[in-house]
Amino acid sequence: MTSQTSINPATGENLESYPLHGAAQVQAMIAKGQAAFVNWRKTPLSERAKLLLTASDVLLRKKEEYAKLIALEMGKTIKEAIAEVEKCALCARFYAQNGEAFLADQTVATEYHKSYVTFQPLGIVLGVMPWNFPFWQVFRFVFPSLMAGNACLLKHASNTPGCALAIESVCRQAGFPQYLMQTLLIPGSRVEEVISHPHVCAVTLTGSTPAGKAVASLSGKHLKKTVLELGGSDPYLILEDADIAHAIKTCSNSRMVNCGQSCVSAKRLIVVESIRQQFEQGIVKAFSEQRMGDPLDASTTIGPMSRADLRDELHDQVQRSIKAGAKCLLGGKIPGGKGAFYPLTVLSGVTSSMPAYSEEMFGPVAVIIPARDEEDAIRIANDTVFGLGGSVFTRDLVRGEEIARNRIESGLCFVNMMVRSDPRLPFGGIKESGYGRELAAFGIHEFTNAKSIVVEKPA
């Protein structure tokens, strides 16, 4: 393979081909990135913050242009794509405004004359990023990494090379030093040649659990720090005292985000039996009112899935679940015509013997699992290899908070709302959903050297 070709998932048509970087080019790019880092780490935090603010301005000024590129390459609706670019701009401003405080020395009280922790940059951080949020997933590692004084390399998904190069262009337009943030156009099979390079100090990956395990293995082999945000099968618990109308609206909206292609969407709707029928009827109604079509059409609420092969894998999961006894209340059939479209689908009566119970359903499929009561709902919620997000719906806020805090095994758990990432809060999972945290102060500290300094007077 000598090039990457982006394909419009709404039409199946080729958009553009991009030549891959050869091995010698990659080595030269890493060397240039290291040289840029050596100078950048000396740049005052105030100057770094100014460039982040300029990057935010670039993103907002060109948000329609970038949103159209996102929609064309991976099928996100134009409304969602604009919101994604705006969120990236918000992230830039967040770290510009708070980065200096996050990186400030932390005094430690000891018997010594002076003792404190200082946060120093590591060097080059490699990001191995997915296609589902092609701008947001990248910038949420790039902005804190640059603010911390690091350099960045991006190995993006093979179906979003245009987005990858556009992200690099944003950094150049903002005035960041040349080569400080670079895009590598290489296949996944060549990631080790980057990880193994001595100037690459850390790796962050957002993607599937198998991809995370592969990168973790390579990074461990070469002793490189990693942060992994992997798959998820988030449980949304709808208890008997929930506000049903609110739960239906929130759960359906969560499941429809990005055509269901989100790590933290409502993957498993665990509903107490006494309210299950009413909840199911509401979900079917909410899904039936959506309009599937051209993602560039402002009236479209559900676009295509990102790739036809992923659509076909999802359909296979749906069909195997139906054969195992799940009831399909809506959808479940691949439409005719061009594009990687899949209808909003509702599966009811899902049990542990079905793929929809244990496998991540990465597409617009609502999986409804009945539970006897609160205890059974919590048991089902934790009966998974994943541990990214989760949500609890109840009118009793004390009850909901106790369940979210102490009883759901996840990196995030919300009460009466959909799970989402927020620059102000740490984001990440446990179990096979990965480790480490992005965003907030935790995210910027992940790729720094927390260095202890002790000063003592001579005897």
Q: Are residues 217 and 306 in the same domain?
A: no
Catalytic residue (choose from 229, 374, 409, 438): 229
The confidence score (pLDDT) of residue 238 equals 98
Q: How far is CA 25 from CA 286, 309, 354, in A?
A: 51, 31, 47
**Whether residue 450 sits in one domain with residue 414:** no
CA distances from 19 to 2, 4, 190 (A): 6, 6, 15
CB within 8 A of 393, min separation 6: which ones? 236, 237, 238, 239, 242, 243, 246, 247, 250, 251, 400, 415, 416
**Structure confidence at residue 12 (pLDDT):** 97
Tell the burial category of 290 from Cβ atoms under 10 Å away from its Cβ (0-12, 13-18, 19+): middle
User: What does the alpha-carbon distance between residue 355 and residue 320 come to, in Å, rounded to a whole number?
Assistant: 7
**What's the CATH code of the domain at 287?**
3.40.309.10
Task: Look up the CATH number of the domain holding residue 40.
Answer: 3.40.605.10
Give Cα separations from 268 to 197, 371, 407 (angstroms).
41, 12, 17
For range 322-335, the mean pLDDT: 98
Specify whether 205 is located in the same domain as 353. Answer: no
Q: Quick one: 439 and 354 in the same domain?
A: no
Q: Rg (Cα) of the chain, in Å, rounded?
A: 23
* Same-domain pairing of 11 and 89: yes
Count of domains observed in the chain: 2
d(CA 56, CA 143): 10
Q: Are residues 247 and 222 in the same domain?
A: no
**Whether residue 24 is found in the same domain as residue 56:** yes
What's the rounded Cα separation, in Å, for the pair 154 and 160?
12
- Residue 284: which domain range? 235-422
> 459 pLDDT band (50/70/90 cuts)?
confident
> Is there a domain that residue 16 lies in?
yes
- Angle, alpha carbons 9-157-331 (nearest 5°): 40
Task: Check 84, 263, 432, 438 and give the catalytic one.
Answer: 263
User: Which tens digits make up the pLDDT trace of 124-139?
Assistant: 999 999 999 999 999 9
Is residue 167 situated within a structural domain?
Answer: yes
pLDDT value, residue 336: 93
> Are 415 and 441 in a shared domain?
no
Residues 255 and 183 in one domain: no
Instruction: Tell me: pLDDT of 199 over 90.
Output: yes
Model pLDDT, residue 281: 98
At a CB cut-off of 8 Å and minimum separation 6, what does 153 contact? 29, 30, 33, 124, 125, 126, 127, 181, 182, 183, 184, 194, 200
Share of the chain above pLDDT 70, in %: 100
Catalytic annotation present for 263: yes
Active site (annotated) includes residue 229: yes
User: How crowded is residue 47: how many other Cβ atoms within 10 Å of its Cβ?
Assistant: 11
Residues 129 and 159 in one domain: yes
Residue 13 has pLDDT above 80, yes or no: yes
pLDDT tens-digit series, residues 217-239: 999 999 999 999 999 999 999 99
Locate 171 and state its tokens: 């950094």
Give tens-digit pLDDT for 118-173. Answer: 999 999 999 999 999 999 999 999 999 999 999 999 999 999 999 999 999 999 99
User: pLDDT value at position 173?
Assistant: 98
Cβ pair 139, 423 in contact under 8 A: no
pLDDT at 1 over 90: no
Whether residue 427 lies inside any domain: the answer is no
Q: CB-based burial of residue 174 (10 Å sphere; 0-12 exposed, 13-18 middle, 19+ buried)?
A: buried
Q: What is the DSSP letter of 413?
A: -
Tokens of 284: 């079917």
- Give the separation between CA 459 and CA 453, rounded to whole angstroms: 19
With contact defined as beta carbons under 8 Å apart, do 269 and 366 qualify?
Answer: yes
Cβ atoms of residues 69 and 59 within 8 Å: no
Residues 125 and 30 in one domain: yes
Whether 214 and 165 map to the same domain: the answer is yes
Task: Give per-residue pLDDT as tens, 68-88.
Answer: 999 999 999 999 999 999 999
